[in-house]
Amino acid sequence: MNFVSSQYLLFFAAVFGIYWCLGRRRQNLLILVSSCAFYAVWDWRLLGLIAISTVSNFVCGNRIAASTDGPRRRRWLWSALAINLGILGTFKYANFFADSLVSLAHALNFGVQPVTLQVVLPVGISFYVFHSLSYTIDIYRGELRRSDSLVDFAAFVTFFPQMVAGPIVRARELLFQLEAERQLTVAKVQTGVGMFITGLFLKAFVADNLALALVDPVFSQPAAFGTATLWWALLGYSFQIYADFYGYTLMATGSALLLGIQLPMNFRYPYLAIDFSDFWQRWHISMSRFFRDYVYIPLGGNRATPRRQMLNLAITNLLSGLWHGANWTFVAWGAQHAVLNAANQLVRRRLGQLSAASQRRWFRLTLLPRWALVQGAIMQTWVVFRSRDFATAMDFYRGLFVWQDGQALQIGSLTLCCLLAVVADHAYGWVREHLGKPPALAVYYPAAYTVMLLAVFNGMPAHATPFIYFQF
């Protein structure tokens, strides 16, 4: 059930109307039932995987909380990890690694027959597995108390606004909200509806039009297009993936807020980043925090030697790349960011040797060049992220940096409006970060939402495309 559909609006209206007529416990039961119905639209059979992940973490987490014996607590933790990562590995990565081993064997002249599991990739599996695992891990660390209600916990794991594409919400961020009474206020309604409209505009108008008119045609056969068009398409995809994923996040957050639930912020104007670490504090923030807290820090984080820090960072980036999809292109994307982040750490370490006055001077004088360098490097990484295979990515890179003649796509007024919408979004973000929040005019927000709705109704493509992050 796509957020950009009349079916979702009718579904949410029904849930919203019933929800606020119930008490807290029945509200949570309604969330659980409606979330299962929401997911069953894709494939009801896959609800069993969610049930296994949910129940296993609830049982293991509560067993850990009830025990003071260290080895027993670790056994329950490893049991939860084995069950949930086993589900993730089987349904998302088994065929990928099997095919990779077969290809390696063939390259070494070994005759090996491919073995393929007849499984489908469940929508949002990476998200709901991480949601439920956070409960067990945080209880083991002593950062979260156990839940007494399986319904409350299941409602947290399956909460339909963020179930299939995030944000990655940890138990300590959401579970306590489900265990408390919620209230609906005028401010929440205004903010929630505004978020949903903005997200709808970013997804249905900006992202989908960029995909249809510019990105998809060029990335399907980059060797056929000229260098100038390739650069336009790369810029288009950089803006498309932002508008698509941020649009989903806003619609999810707005839907949750209308149900009295606050989800964490997941984007903060990422294309304003002035170094690579700054980018990951602005882009998919919930994923960055998850890998920081559950991978990077347990590996030693910044407490280790400089070389070990680099290794920890590389492992974290590679795993985050693989998390995005069972394809070596995503691993390569993670490797690119590992290199960029390592370079970032080296520069920061060298600057730390300068005096405070010299550091301030350097940061001030190099602000624009650093921003351009960082954003240019990040934009290049989207090539391998978007490409279906390495051959396509190499064709794209070759066309970017070695001039080639070819087809040219006309950048029409609609496409230009979509690009300018993202520029305007970040310009507004820059003003907020550097000059403070602009004074709220009574007519500003209603007028902006009206313009966005008119753009959606008159300019969105005939068929809504799936959200990019649904495949992860």
> Which residues belong to the active site?
324
3-state helix, strand, coil in the chain (%, to 5): 75, 0, 25
Residue 162 near residue 169 (C-beta atoms within 8 A): yes
Nearest to 35 by CA among 51, 52, 21: 51
Nearest to 284 by CA among 238, 236, 245: 245
SS3 225: strand
Backbone angles phi, psi at 225, to 5 degrees: -110, 155
- Helical H segments across 259-327, by residue range: 276-280, 285-291, 306-324
DSSP 227-260: HHHHHHHHHHHHHHHHHHHHHHHHHHHHHHHHTT
Residue 2 near residue 248 (C-beta atoms within 8 A): no
DSSP code for 179: T
CB count within 10 Å of CB 150 equals 14
Nearest to 277 by CA among 347, 335, 226: 347
For the chain, the C-alpha Rg in angstroms (whole number) is 23
Residue 356 near residue 339 (C-beta atoms within 8 A): no
DSSP 394-453: HHHHHHHHS----B-----HHHHHHHHHHHHHHHHHHHHHHH-PPP--TTHHHHHHHHHH
Token look-up 């296994």 returns 52
CA of 1: how far to CAs of 61, 120, 138, 403, 467, in Å? Answer: 31, 18, 32, 43, 11
